[in-house]
Structure 1
Amino acid sequence: MTDPNRFAGGVVDLGEVKARAEARAQRQAAAGPGGADTESAGAEAVAAFFTVTEENFETEVLRRSIQVPVIVLVGSGRSDVSEELKADLRELAEAGGLQFLVGYVDADATPQIAQALGVRNLPTVLAIGAGRPLANFEGGQPRESLRQWVDAVIEAVGGQLQGLPPGTVQAGAEAAEQDAEPAEDPRLTQATEALNAGDFDAAIAVYDEMLAENPADAEIKQARGTVELLKRLDPANRSTDALQDAEDDPDNVDKQLAGADAEVVAGAPEQAFERLLATMKRTTGDDKARVKDRLLELFALFEPADPRVREARTKLASALF
């Protein structure tokens, strides 16, 4: 991480946009509560966490950073590290009492913003205050280190900024999403109907079509992975109890994979992860690679910030190296 007390010059070129933002903020301050600038009238609801778009970049990042520090995360739904950072930063922001805000840039949906910020690697986190870059880092960070970094940013510049207008309140979670929920894709109904009919391949084909259009859709990825799991455990494809088979033959990799699937379906993912981690220690070569791949598939069925997934990922890293 870069030191929050040191400006990371050159990371962001604000130029004329920053100048316009500062000029507007000064006009608002001069107008006062009873002035002509309607944006300063009345209590304002501010989202502690929001999605950055081309439309709101100037107002919610640059202009807002004149009032409080704005932490910008540039990430991707394809990156587990990005998703973990996103979850941690969101939680810190929503518990932070509007001392700082967090904006998320989806590099897949808005690559032009990531490019404008000079981002080279994902995820990248930048702190912006008074329209200027303050500090940045690339990659993941433990939650406690992340909290300390944010605290250092606030301490370094928070008192030098204007602060939010009196009466500002934190917007509800629904306001943080910026946009209304989109209409449900009718193909989701097709996939559900296929699944209910036991046609796993048809459901997977629907999800594949949707992912071809939006590869970063984490929910569809999870749905597809779930159907793959159910297909593997379909009674039509097996005549024995997967868990009992795994217990009876601990050295059989195929049976351990099936046993882990069954434990996930039974609501015991921790046991599934431990089973596969133990199997990895007993295997080598292609078998070990197969077990690792199945672990990653099962991880993808859960939120990246799920503590069970985090713990298992740490153990997986130890098992690999």
Structure 2
Amino acid sequence: MQPRNSRLNSSALRGAVDLAAVKAAGEAAQKAEQARAERARQAAAGIAPDPSAYPLVIDVTEDTFETEVVQRSTEVPVVIDFWAEWCEPCKQLSPMLERLAEEYAGRIVLAKIDVEANQLLTQQFGIQGVPAVMAVVAGQLVPLFQGAESEPNVRKVLDQLILVAEQRFGVVGGAGAPAEAPGEAGPYLPEDPALAAAHEALDRGDLGGAIQAYQNVLVDEPGNTEAKLGLAQAELLRRVEGLDLATVRAAAAADPKDVGAQLKAADLDLVGGHVEDAFGRLVATVGRTFGEDRDTVRLRLLELFEVIGSEDPRVTAARGALARVLF
């Protein structure tokens, strides 16, 4: 979810629905606030920051991921560049990302992961091809883009990632960061208090409260896209509470025509970051069902599209697949 004045054009931030991340968001924001306070104390005391303590470009392995990425993400957005030596597009994108990390001067950190040397991480992140770029903010995974991108597009994504990190999670970047990141991210606009209350309820794991709060916003503003997104995420998280992944997947595999089992499996797929699997499962289920069952699955698929966002290429592909089975 993003503040309405800082929406990303890519899938960034919309695909982040990890349960553990939602529960940890408040704690991560608190850590970030403590880090900011310490930096402010040092600045007031005239203590210059140690540049070596805040490297802007780091090589990350499976052994160092927790410390260098997850823990660091409570203080600064960590952009992850998945690359490989044999990847030709990586040879253009990676140097650009390194240069931008230096230019942004502490507002982001770039973590470079060699997919060949870190295959477990590659599998855990579901990397299908390189280059692939993601971010971690306050412990929450944020898909950004895959494949080569132009520098203007990369700047736009980074600018808005920084704004969302600040406004949504309170993560503002490392010592020595400029007051404004390079680029044109747009002015900050105060967030709607009702929407902020809904976000806070979601952050602290009060899913029932979050759902009611988002519904209240939509009563007054039926077209509020951020409230629609928040409601879809909160409802998804509530649906998967208490579900056992192995049990659900076994039931879905045992009976492909069991609509309830397929819906639960798709929800768990999406929460686990397996977006294409979730969409593919429901498209296939639409194709083999009829009447009310088909309509139920179709509507759930549309709800999951809302969670990820209409701009995401995975949604575009799934919409096309859905149209083909329907018509």
Q: Which has the larger radius of gyration?
A: 1
Query: Normalising TM by the smaller chain, what interval?
Result: 0.3 to 0.5
Could you state the TM-score of these two structures normalised by the residue count of structure 2?
0.41
Could you state the TM-score of these two structures normalised by the residue count of structure 1?
0.42
Higher relative contact order (CA 8 A, sep 6+): 2
